[in-house]
Structure 1
Amino acid sequence: MSGNTITQPATPAVSTKPTPSTVAPVPAGATGATVSQSRAARELVLKRGEFDLAVQLGCVRTIVDDGGGGSRVARSEIDRLRGEQGFPEMLRERVKAVGTTAGAELLEVTTAKFTRFARLGLIAPVRFYLNRYRAVVWLYLAEELRQFKADEKNTHLLKGRIPEELRKRLDAGLDLRPRNWRGRHLGFLLRQTEDPWARAAASASLLDPLQVAEIVRDPYERAYLNRHRPARADQATPESPAARITASIMTADDPDEIEWLRADVRQSLAEARTRRAAPRPGGEKPRPPGKARSAHDTRHETRLVVAARPAPHLPNSEPRPEERRPHGALRPAPDLPNGVRRPERHRPTTHDAPERRGLLGWLRRRHP
């Protein structure tokens, strides 16, 4: 995806120092046990994107709404975060995401060198989006970049040249940004649920549908996985160019990654089947996992059905197959009472018989 990636332009820094009216006060009459995510974002002085990232990173804990209204935030969780020292700037710094230009400034390197670090997997993106030119813009956590800079093991990379071996991998087209994002995104999804079917669906969402069909043979289980499939990371129109680019980022393409995800789906499915089976119409029992219907089984079941089917009812004028006489055999004449003459058998003429075609019919008409 390096061909679709651009560098963000530099933007002036915006001060996040709160003013007396910055921190939204909690209403005195708010006594509910939970609040919606939009209200929690307002009370924590976070934009909606920052709040979603805080939930994914585990900075804000959510609970599942029993009424099916999505995740909510407990009032006690909001009180805990508001009571931390340095609120709200400390919380906002933990979820601050920057682009390539701002990230290069934090590391005090060029944007080209910063991009090489990201492609090598030394720093992992936390989010991405497509701009109006359908180019991929990667975002990174500012806190992780500061930690990368403070680590003495990375000093030679920041101050000197990138080793020759790593440069060869870059020249070969190495770009680990999509894979690192997928790994981080999968961690986000797994932290948000304990349901085994949802965990299996999270891993399956990063695989190609054909890969999922090879692992999950049962169509009802595949449908149940799709029901628990997490929402897409974008809101692009299906089958649009933007949707295809996003799908390519969200689909594993490395053989090692694909094999790891397939193994994770199998393990999660095995656990999910023990917890509860996928729903089926009419109370049909699930087929044992890994037991696929073969062509031999299908032919054997067909023979059993035909053998068990009763013989069809035939009219009196048509004998049953087992009662049919050999070709040329005469039916024995029934006994008649005395004085009753047997009616003469009517022999059809050429006018009565249907017209015969071919040489044999023409000879029979000339020599009746």
Structure 2
Amino acid sequence: MAAENVPTPQGPTYAPARAARELALRRGEFDLAVRLGHIRTVPDEGGGGRRVSSAEIDRLRARTGFPEALRGRVETVGTREAAELLEISPGRFTRLARLGVVVPVTFYLNRYRAVVWHYLAEELRQFAATDDNKPLLTGRTPTGLREQLAEGLDLRARNWRGRQLGFLLREADGRPWARAAALASLLDPAHVAEIVPDPDERARLSRSLPRTMPHGAPGSATAQVAERITTAVEPDEIGWLRADLAQTVAEARARHPLLRPEPGATVPAAAPPPLAVPRTGAPHRQEQPRHPRGLLGRLRRAGRRTAPHRETEHV
């Protein structure tokens, strides 16, 4: 298989744990800073994960306000703290989040398997400082939006997936198989198998899948809740992910075709790759129209939409 072009690091590099210490960040803060593009990484020449060059460490440490300024850019808050930043009630903040006005950046499941969403504090401060957003923080929610909320509208998981895809595509550094794996990671494996019927190509995607923190043991109730968040379930979202995956895989085939064994050669049998096994536990979702990208379009939309799943949130 042809090698994909990736940047070559110059000088010594550090593993994530060491780089986090050098930058005075907790590991979670470091990982989020990388995903947001605040810390540039390079591929590990030994085939491991991403690393940080000494030059990048020096660049960040030389910036004004280090390390407090860097920490501030990755500070996250839960619903209660977010509401305090915006000077509104936790209930109003949750309604804004369900409407897609504010977008979560991370989540975890507490011991009750309730979803705990976290938001970037920096984004919330910018939101509060924008005059156009003032009407959203005071007064009654418009009738049409109240009806949608009553019907179960909740865009938090979908908006998280959109943001997650942006993170993964940035980490792919333009490598087509890595880009394809980023798209595949948000689809049920059954959809991936339809788009990529070749088992060798699915194995290639599996090797390129981004490493993520597990949420519970495989097949557990906790893992199934996490799957409902991390897997696209709405028909329009699935449709454009499938289309993008098909296009990206075609590009990867053209630019970096897989190395195939010679005809007649004996190769050991391999277990089916993970992407060939459909996930379980995700409930059936009714077809829903795609939301417009613009904020005002989302808020003033005339039609109604029933959310596929209402997440229980720990405040």
Q: What is the TM-score normalised by the length of structure 1?
A: 0.67
Amino acid aligned to 2:56: E
Contact kept? 2:42, 2:53, Cα under 8 Å: yes
The answer to whether the Cα contact below 8 Å between 1:96 and 1:141 also exists between their aligned partners in 2 is yes
Match of 1:62 in 2: 41
Q: 2:128 aligns with which of 139, 146, 149?
A: 149
What percent identity do the matched residue pairs reach? 61
Cα distance in 1 between the residues matched to 2:21 and 2:82: 27
Equivalence for 1:232: 212
Q: Which amino acid aligns with 1:142?
A: A
Counterpart code for 1:179: R
Q: Does 1:268 align with 2:225?
A: no
CA contact (8 A) 2:215 2:222 kept: no
Change (3 A) 1:282 1:82: same
Q: Pairwise mapping of residues 218-297 of structure 1 onto structure 2 (< 5 A)?
A: 218-282=198-262
Matches within 5 A, 1:1-368: 33-193=12-172, 194-282=174-262
**Which letter maps to 2:252?**
A
Measure, in 1, the Cα distance between the counterparts of 2:69 and 2:155: 30
Q: Which has the higher contact order (CA 8 A, sep 6+)?
A: 2
Is the alpha carbon distance of 1:103 and 1:86 closer, same or farther for their aligned partners in structure 2, counting shifts above 3 Å?
same
Q: Identify which range, 59-68 or 271-280, moves more after superposition.
A: 271-280
- Distance in 2 (alpha carbons) for counterparts of 1:89 and 1:152: 27
State how far apart, in whole Å, the 1-side matches of 2:260 and 2:222 are.
36
| DSSP 3-state at the match of 1:257 | helix
Give unmatched runs, 5+ long, in structure 1: 1-30, 285-368
Contact 2:109 2:215 in 1 (8 A): no
Amino acid at match of 1:177: R
Given that 1:63 and 1:72 are in contact with CA atoms closer than 8 Å, whether structure 2 keeps it comes out as yes
Contact 2:180 2:248 in 1 (8 A): yes
Q: How much does 1:161 deviate? A: 1.4
Q: Which amino acid aligns with 1:192?
A: E
| CA root-mean-square deviation | 1.5
Q: CA deviation at 1:160?
A: 1.4
Q: CA deviation at 1:283?
A: 5.1
Give CA-to-partner distance per residue, 1:304-360, whole Å, 9 cap, x none.
xxxxxxxxxxxxxxxxxxxxxxxxxxxxxxxxxxxxxxxxxxxxxxxxxxxxxxxxx
When Rg is computed on C-alpha atoms for both structures, the one with the higher figure is: 1
Instruction: Give the counterpart letter for 2:238 in structure 1.
Output: I
Deviations for 1:245-284, whole angstroms, at most 9, x for unmatched residues?
A: 1111111011111111011101101100101223444458
Q: TM-score, normalised by structure 2?
A: 0.78
Letter in 1 for 2:189: P
- What is the alpha-carbon distance in structure 1 between the residues aligned to residue 155 and residue 213 of structure 2? 19
Q: Which amino acid aligns with 2:234?
A: D
Mean Cα deviation higher: 63-72 or 140-149: 63-72
Total equivalences in the alignment:
254
Contact kept in structure 2, 1:196 and 1:271, CA below 8 Å: yes
Q: Find the counterpart in structure 1 of residue 306 from structure 2.
A: none
Q: Counterparts of 1:200 and 1:263 in 2: how far apart (Å)?
A: 11
Give CA deviations for 1:183-218 in whole Å, capped at 9, x if unaligned.
Answer: 111111110122101111110111111111221122
- In structure 1, how many angstroms separate the alpha carbons of the residues matched to 2:89 and 2:67? 31
- 2:119 is paired with a residue of what secondary structure? strand
